[in-house]
Amino acid sequence: MSLNGVMVVDKPQGWTSHDVVARMRKILGERSIGHLGTLDPMATGVLPLLIGKFTRLAQFYQASEKAYEGTIRFGYATATYDADGEPLGPVREAKVTLDGVRGAMAEFVGVLLQVPPPFSAKKIKGVPAYKLARKKLGVELKPVEVEVRAFEITGVQDDLCGFRCRVASGTYVRSLAHELGQKLGCGAHLASLRRTQVAEFGLSDAHSLDQIAGAATGGERDSLLFHLRRVLPGVPSVTADDETMGRIRYGRTVNLAEFSAAKWVKVFAGQSDLVCLASRVAGSLFHPKVVLLE
């Protein structure tokens, strides 16, 4: 039986996001699965998956805010800007202080121009930068505008600094660590990273691959799905009556007078069956744009 919905995985360290999707396809027996935002192999944490017909919702998450916690090691930079990369020079003693790091961090909050890491999926003339970097070919990436909404220190011990941050989509936390090391003049790289939030999906919603495999074996995989009333919380919801459902099934516009100021509306059949996202055509008339019916 096909599965449709949203499930949040707590991605383990050492796995790529693609690895997780491939494993979930086998566990759930569902080919149509997509993730919301790549995590590097060394990173762990929140990886929301859209399953079955709900892959159609990906368009609504392209600009999602993300939150992280992690550690930055001072003393040397690496080629990949994280702990998986080769050091770019000798290790130096890093004499950093809480106040010094906090002051430097403050300059990385707001709308910034950021150069993506050379080992990244950004493309240069159609070729991913990491493929060129692995061949030790010149990688020159142009700065892109990103937004760091919060970047705060949680503590400093020797050459290691704990941090939390909230960033807009497209921001590389690895680059923040690298640039912070440049600012302090001692070099730095991302030592560990855990994603704690993607849009409305948090760690409390996430399940390990072993938990999901166990639930699937026990015939309880549906119990781990994210409740659809919580999806896209900024979009108002309405429970459709029989007449409205009939019009949606035939792709006809529906009158939702109470939502005339909204751009989109989530339409449910009953408490938890999301049947479509309807976009406003004019006034209180909405067209069933993203239909999730079988």
Superfamily of domain covering 231-291 = PUA domain (2.30.130.10)
Dist CA 119 CA 116 (whole Å)? 8
Per-residue pLDDT band for 104 (boundaries 50, 70, 90) equals: very high
Strands 144-157 and 44-51 turn out to be unpaired
Q: What is the predicted pLDDT for the residue at 222?
A: 93
Q: What is the predicted pLDDT for the residue at 126?
A: 56
Q: Is the pLDDT of residue 112 over 50?
A: yes
Dist CA 98 CA 148 (whole Å)? 20
Residue 40 annotated among the catalytic residues of the structure: yes
Selected residue with higher pLDDT from 216 and 134:
216
Eight-state DSSP code of residue 105? H
For 242-271, what is each residue's pLDDT tens digit? 999 999 998 999 999 889 889 999 999 988
Q: What is the average per-residue pLDDT within 85-98?
A: 86
Collect all residues with Cβ–Cβ distance below 8 Å to 24 and sequence separation of at least 6: 7, 9, 30, 33, 49, 209, 212
Per-residue pLDDT band for 129 (boundaries 50, 70, 90) equals: very low
Per-residue pLDDT band for 115 (boundaries 50, 70, 90) equals: confident
Per-residue pLDDT band for 132 (boundaries 50, 70, 90) equals: very low
CATH class of 66-197: alpha beta
Dist CA 79 CA 142 (whole Å)? 17
Dist CA 225 CA 6 (whole Å)? 6
Strands 5-11 and 44-51 turn out to be antiparallel
May I ask the CATH architecture of the domain 5-64+200-226?
Answer: 2-Layer Sandwich (3.30)
The distance from CA 150 to its chain's CA centroid, rounded to whole angstroms, is 16
Structure tokens at 248: 């949606």
**Domain edges within the chain:** 5-64+200-226, 66-197, 231-291
Which of 40, 82, 159, 205 does the annotation list as catalytic?
A: 40
Per-residue pLDDT band for 136 (boundaries 50, 70, 90) equals: low
Q: Do 5-64+200-226 and 66-197 agree at the fold level?
A: yes
Task: Determine phi and psi for 230, rounding to 5 degrees.
Answer: -95, -10
Q: Is the pLDDT of residue 217 over 60?
A: yes
Say how many residues make up the chain. 294
Mean pLDDT for the chain? Answer: 90
